[in-house]
C-alpha cells in the first residue's frame, strides 16, 4: 500500500531539489557566463534606432551579439555547431562535468517527487540515496566550475575580453549571472545532500509510524 507522507522537511527538500536542478540547467544553457567589452554601432543613427553601447555575452557554447550594421537587435544563439567547435578544451571538459552534474540533479529532482509515496528503494532509504547522488553531483559541478576559468585564454575569449585575457584572468570581461547561478546551484546541491538526512528523519519518525498503523494513507505532519 502506498502511504503519502508529507512533512515540512521532506517537502522543503523536494522543492529545493527541483529548484537546484532547474537553476543548473538554465545556467548551463545561458550565454551570460562572460560579459565582453562594451561595443557600439557607430554606423547606426536615426530616430527610434538603438545605437548605444551594448555588451556582448559569451556562454559555454552560445553567445549574444548585435548582428548587422543597421541597428538590429542583439541575437543570441550557439557559436559552436559541434562539440569540437567549443572555444577551449577546458570548456569542453567543463561542459561534460557540468552536464553530468545537472543530469544527476535532474534525475534526483524527478525521484524526489515520488518520495512522497515511496520512501525506500530495494530496502534502502530513498532520501539517503538521493542525498548521496546530490553530493556526487555537487562534486561534478565543482570540478566543472574550476575548469571553466582555465579556458579564458582561448582565442574566442580574447576576441571578447581583449588580448590580456588568460587562464583565470578575464581581463576586461566581467562574470555574468549564469556563472554565479551555477555556483549558487552547486552550493545548494550540497545543502540538499545534507538536508536529505533531515527529510529521512522526518518521514520515519514515531508519529509517522503511529499514523501508518492507524491505517491512514495520507499523512501530513508539520
DSSP 121-176: ETTEEHHHHHHHHHHHHHHHHHHHHHHGGGGTTSHHHHHHH-TT-BTTB-TT-EE-
| pLDDT mean over 67-84 | 77
What rounded mean pLDDT belongs to the chain?
84
Q: What is the pLDDT of residue 46?
A: 47
| Angle, helices 8-29/177-203, rounded to nearest 10 degrees | 160
Between 180 and 221, residue with greater pLDDT: 180
Q: Beta-carbon neighbour count of residue 74 at 10 Å?
A: 13
Q: What is the pLDDT of residue 9?
A: 82
Give yes or no for residue 172 having a pLDDT over 80.
yes
CA-to-CA distance for 11 and 184, rounded, in angstroms? 21
Q: Beta-carbon neighbour count of residue 84 at 10 Å?
A: 8
Tell me the per-residue pLDDT of 44-69, one tens digit each, with 9 for 90 and over: 444 444 456 778 999 999 998 876 55
Tell me the per-residue pLDDT of 8-44, one tens digit each, with 9 for 90 and over: 888 899 999 999 999 999 999 999 999 988 776 554 4
| pLDDT mean over 183-198 | 94
User: Checking DSSP bridges between strand 218-221 and strand 4-7, what pairing results, if any?
Assistant: parallel
CA-to-CA distance for 72 and 65, rounded, in angstroms? 10
152 phi, psi to nearest 5 deg: -75, -5
Q: Residue with C-alpha cell 561595443?
A: 39
Q: Beta-carbon neighbour count of residue 35 at 10 Å?
A: 21
Q: Give the three cell numbers for residue 95.
A: 561542459
Cα angle, residue 106 at apex, residues 129 and 182 outer, rounded to 5°: 110
Per domain, the residue ranges of the chain are 4-32+88-220
Tell me the per-residue pLDDT of 132-165, one tens digit each, with 9 for 90 and over: 999 999 999 999 999 999 999 999 999 889 899 9
Q: Give the three cell numbers for residue 126.
A: 530513498
- CATH architecture assigned to 4-32+88-220: Up-down Bundle (1.20)
Q: Give the three cell numbers for residue 145.
A: 566550475
First to last CA, the chain: 23
pTM, two decimals, is 0.85
Q: What is the pLDDT of residue 169?
A: 92
Q: Please name every residue paired with 76 in a beta bridge, in sequence order, or none if there are none.
A: 64
Between 92 and 119, residue with greater pLDDT: 92
Cα angle, residue 121 at apex, residues 117 and 127 outer, rounded to 5°: 70
Q: Give the three cell numbers for residue 83.
A: 562539440
Contact 5, 190 (CB under 8 A): no
Give yes or no for residue 194 having a pLDDT over 90.
yes
Amino acid at each position: 500500500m502506498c502511504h503519502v507522507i508529507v512533512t515540512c522537511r521532506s517537502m522543503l527538500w523536494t522543492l529545493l531539489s527541483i529548484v537546484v536542478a532547474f537553476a543548473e540547467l538554465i545556467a548551463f544553457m545561458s550565454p551570460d557566463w562572460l560579459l565582453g567589452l562594451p561595443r557600439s554601432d557607430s554606423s547606426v543613427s536615426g530616430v527610434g534606432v538603438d545605437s548605444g553601447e551594448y555588451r556582448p555575452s559569451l556562454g559555454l557554447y552560445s553567445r549574444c551579439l548585435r548582428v548587422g550594421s543597421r541597428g538590429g537587435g542583439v541575437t543570441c544563439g550557439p557559436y559552436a555547431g559541434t562539440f569540437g567547435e567549443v572555444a577551449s578544451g577546458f570548456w569542453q571538459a567543463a561542459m561534460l562535468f557540468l552536464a553530468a552534474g545537472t543530469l544527476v540533479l535532474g534525475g534526483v529532482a524527478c525521484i524526489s517527487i515520488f518520495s512522497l509515496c515511496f520512501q525506500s528503494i530495494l530496502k534502502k532509504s530513498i532520501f539517503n540515496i538521493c542525498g548521496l547522488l546530490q553530493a556526487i553531483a555537487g562534486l561534478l559541478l565543482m570540478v566543472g566550475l574550476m575548469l571553466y576559468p582555465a579556458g579564458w585564454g582561448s582565442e574566442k575569449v580574447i576576441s571578447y575580453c581583449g588580448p590580456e585575457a588568460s587562464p583565470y584572468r578575464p581581463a576586461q570581461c566581467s562574470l555574468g549571472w549564469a556563472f554565479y547561478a551555477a555556483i549558487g546551484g552547486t552550493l545548494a546541491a550540497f545543502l540538499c545532500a545534507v538536508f536529505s538526512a533531515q527529510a529521512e528523519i522526518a518521514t520515519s519518525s514515531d508519529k509517522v509510524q503511529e499514523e501508518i498503523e492507524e491505517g491512514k494513507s495520507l499523512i501530513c505532519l508539520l
